[in-house]
Amino acid sequence: MPSGPAPPLPCKSVSAPAPRSSVPPRAASRASALPPPGPSASEESAAPDPAKMARRSRHRLLLLLLRYLVVALDYHKAYGFSASKDHQVVTAIEFQEVILACKYPKKTISSRLEWKKLGRSVSFVYYQQALQGDFKDRAEMIDFSIRIKNVTRNDAGKYRCEVSAPSEQGQNLEEDTLTLEVLVAPAVPSCEVPSSALRGTVVELRCQDKEGNPAPEYTWFKDGIRLLENPKLGSPSANSSYTMNTKSGTLQFNTVSKLDSGEYSCEARNSVGHSRCPGKRMQVDDLNISGIIAAVVVVALVISVCGLGVCYAQRKGYFSKETSFQKSSSASKATAMSENDFKHTKSFII
In SS3 terms, the chain reads as: CCCCCCCCCCCCCCCCCCCCCCCCHHHHHHHHHCCCCCCCHHHHHCCCCHHHHHHHHHHHHHHHHHHHHHHHHHHHHHCCCCCCCCCEEEEEECCCCEEECCCCCCCCCCCEEEEEEECCCCEEEEECCEECCCHHHHEEEECCEEEECCCCHHHCEEEEEEEEEECCCCEEEEEEEEEEEEEECCCCCEEECCCEEECCCCEEEEEECCCCECCCEEEEEECCEECCCCHHHCCCCCCCCEEEECCCCEEEECCCCHHHCEEEEEEEECCCCEEECCCEEEEEECCCHHHHHHHHHHHHHHHHHHHHHHHHHHHHCHHHHHHHHHHHHHHHHHHHHHHHHHHHHHHHHC
HSE-CB of 103 using CA atoms within 13 angstroms: 10
The confidence score (pLDDT) of residue 61 equals 75
How confident is the model at residue 58, as a pLDDT? 74
With b meaning 16 or more CB within 10 Å and e meaning fewer, what string describes 166-205? eeeeeebebbbbbebebbbbbeebebebeeebeeeeebeb
pLDDT value, residue 250: 96
Rounded to whole angstroms, the Cα distance separating 206 from 202 reads: 13
Angle in degrees, CA 124, 140, 175, rounded to 5: 45
Q: What is the pLDDT of residue 209?
A: 96
Residue 92 CA, chain-centre distance (Å), reads 22
End-to-end alpha-carbon separation of the chain, Å? 211
Phi/psi for 63 (5° steps) reads -65, -40
The pLDDT score that the predictor gives to residue 333 is 54
What does the alpha-carbon distance between residue 4 and residue 226 come to, in Å, rounded to a whole number?
A: 150
pLDDT of 76 reads 38
Residue 176 to residues 83, 85, 117, 166, 347, Cα–Cα distance (Å): 10, 7, 12, 18, 110
Distances (CA, A) of 310 to 16, 131, 217, 314, 327: 174, 90, 66, 6, 22
In a structure prediction context, what are the per-residue pLDDT tens digits for the chain, which is 350 residues long? 444 444 444 444 444 444 444 444 443 444 444 444 444 444 444 455 677 777 777 777 777 666 656 444 443 333 333 334 567 899 999 999 999 998 865 566 678 899 999 998 899 999 988 999 999 999 999 888 999 999 999 999 999 999 888 777 777 788 899 999 999 999 999 999 999 999 999 999 999 999 999 999 999 999 999 999 887 765 555 556 899 999 999 999 999 999 999 999 999 999 999 999 999 999 999 876 666 777 787 888 888 888 887 887 777 777 665 555 555 555 555 455 555 554 444 444 43
Gap between the Cα atoms of 149 and 155, Å rounded: 12
Cα distance between residue 113 and residue 125, in whole Å:
11
| pLDDT for position 273 | 95
Distance from CA of residue 259 to its chain's centroid? Answer: 43
For residue 148, the model assigns a pLDDT of: 96
Confidence (pLDDT) at 288: 62
d(CA 151, CA 302): 71
